Amino acid sequence: MSIVLLPMRLKARLVGFGVGVRNHRMVHLSDDERLFFSMFAAQSSTAIENARLYEALGQANLTLEEKVHERTHDLQEANTRLRELDQIKSNFISMVSHELRTPLTAIKGFIVTLFHYDKEISEEKRHLYLGVLNEETDRLTRLITELLDISRIESGRVDIQWSPVSVPTLVRRVFDTLAIKADAVRLVQDFPADFPDIAADSDKIEQVLMNLISNALKYSPEGGLVRVSGFRQGDEIEITVEDEGPGIPASEQEKIFDKFYRQDNETNRKNPGTGLGLPICRTLIHLHGGKVWVRSEPGQGCHFIFRLPLNLDKSEGPRG
Ligand code: ADP
């Protein structure tokens, strides 16, 4: 038996190990056979190398295609996001101009009337006009306060004044303030007797509750229930503000925490707003080391839930 082993080279590089030939009768190779085998080896080397290159090229092409696909997708997403932000910005500018101008026009109109027609206006009408002036100035104050809040928050100029805070007491206070607007809505609070105080900034937690509870009221149907409840779990408390309003579709549940974002619906068209309430709540809760989210099924109302750490190391300790 004879075995012919030929190095398969391409340029100076060994690309394969050789061609083995078994031939019982062959003892040694003639010159022609040598030539034949070395040409065969050379051809095979080229073929193998080509196949390898082809495979590598295919792989490289595939990776490149994937990369291009990924980048295109990223760019498209960035582009969509930019367009959304642009839309939010122009909505905001037109909202602020509208929101500022509407109450100002009303205020100016009623003041001019009271000023010029003072003697002719009945007591009843004067009372009505003053009521409108009161409401419209409140609306302006709310808008300006929220704009200032968000700008203070964004530039990191918010201090947390830690002190012992009883959340149920704050809820009671917010209910008292809102009772006059609650009309046909039932306000209920539900906390266990041993619900703990936490260390927090009382004004800021009250602001969070005020925002969430007034939203719940705004979206409640007549006769609806707004319930605020809480419990302690380990070193945290969890508070839920729930209503029986229209709810929020899953696709909107994160967006409503974006600045200036408002859903396009009937209630929002009737009720002016800035879309700043929830982003302010979220930032205030983050500043306390907590988190806030919403759980909702359309048509089944909303549960706005927030968790706060007890943060007991932040103040003298809870009140008795
Ligand atoms: P604003 O109330 O000024 O619109 P918010 O940031 O408080 O701004 O709320 C953002 C949006 O979230 C609202 O415009 C509304 O579409 C939605 N939303 C908030 N609370 C509720 C709720 N309880 N029920 C239904 N939708 C709500």
Q: Ligand 1 center to residue 96 CA distance, Å? A: 17
Q: Ligand 1 center to residue 281 CA distance, Å? A: 12
The second-level CATH assignment, the architecture, of 163-309 is: 2-Layer Sandwich (3.30)
Which of 91, 178, 215 is the pocket-test mutation for ligand 1 (most atoms within 8 Å of CB)? 215
In this prediction, residue 229 carries a pLDDT of 98
Q: What are the start and end residues of each CATH 3.30.565.10 domain in the chain?
A: 163-309
Which of 217, 258, 278 is the pocket-test mutation for ligand 1 (most atoms within 8 Å of CB)? 278
Tokens of 263: 């859903």
Pocket of ligand 1 (CB under 6 A): 211, 215-216, 219, 243, 245-246, 248, 256, 262-263, 268, 273-278, 302
Rounded CA separation 98/103 (Å) = 9
Distance between first and last Cα of the chain? 101
Rounded CA separation 307/232 (Å) = 9
Q: What are the start and end residues of each CATH 1.10.287.130 domain in the chain?
A: 93-154
Place of tokens 């968790």: 307
For residues 149 and 280, the answer to whether their CB atoms sit within 8 Å is yes
Candidates 3.50.50.60, 1.10.287.130, 3.40.50.150, 3.40.50.1820; CATH matching 93-154:
1.10.287.130
**Nearest CA, atom 12, ligand 1:** 256
Phi, psi torsion values for 290, nearest 5 degrees: -110, -170
Tokens of 40: 């065969």
Which of 262, 285, 300 is the pocket-test mutation for ligand 1 (most atoms within 8 Å of CB)? 262
Q: Which residues of the chain have pLDDT under 50?
A: 317-320
In this prediction, residue 25 carries a pLDDT of 62
Rounded CA separation 217/29 (Å) = 100
DSSP state at residue 195: P
Tokens of 45: 């080397």
In this prediction, residue 30 carries a pLDDT of 80
Rounded CA separation 98/86 (Å) = 18
